[in-house]
Amino acid sequence: MTAPVAISLYVNGEHVDAHVQPRLNLADFLREHLRLTGTHVGCEHGVCGACTVRVDGEIVRACLMLAAQADAASVETIEGLSDSGEVSDLQNAFRERNALQCGYCTPGMLITAQDLLKREAEPSREQIREHLSGNYCRCTGYQAIVDAVETTARLRGGRKV
Ligand code: FES
Ligand code: FES
């Protein structure tokens, strides 16, 4: 058995100290050690985007990052973005536009969409599709998700939808 590694990081603004196995990935650390189960796990090899979180302000796939690599980092999950209200308008738009059904992809979609809207205030539908192209949804057919992101961008820009 490999010796655990000591890590110290911030998760959703709270300081966390932990001892983790060197091979434990960040998604499993968040879900199993911290009970932050909004970070979903689908493919576990970097394809589906269900595990998307923010690390030091950049979106990453938590299944592809070791928890030990998050030492000294600031990690934000969907729980943090939701509790702070940062994505409340996106969440409302997803509800109103029927952009979620089973909801499995939704946390990753919301974090990825918010990443786009922080970079690009009024993205085109093509830009939205491109930015979300690494997040898979088995239910919605994507159209409603693009609608929801586009609506949110317009509302943030003070425009009518
Ligand atoms: S679970 Fe990480 S990308 Fe699919
Ligand atoms: S809502 Fe079911 S996978 Fe997207």
pTM: 0.96
Exposed, middle or buried, 135 (CB in 10 Å: 0-12/13-18/19+)? buried
Residue 22: C-alpha distances to residues 25, 52, 68 (Å): 8, 20, 6
pLDDT cut 70: percent of the chain above it: 98
Q: What pLDDT does 97 receive?
A: 96
**Ligand 2 contacts CB of residue 114 (under 6 A):** no
* Confidence band for 159, pLDDT divided at 50, 70 and 90: confident
Q: Say how many Å lie between the CA of residue 154 and the centre of ligand 2.
A: 24
pLDDT at 161 over 80: no
- The DSSP call for residue 94 is H
Bridge pairing between strands 5-11 and 74-76 = parallel
pLDDT in tens, 29-44: 999 999 999 999 999 9
The residues lining ligand 1, judged by C-beta closer than 6 Å to any ligand atom, are: 41-44, 46-51, 61, 63
Model confidence at 112, in pLDDT bands (50, 70, 90)?
A: very high
49: left (phi over 0), alpha (psi -120 to 50) or beta: left
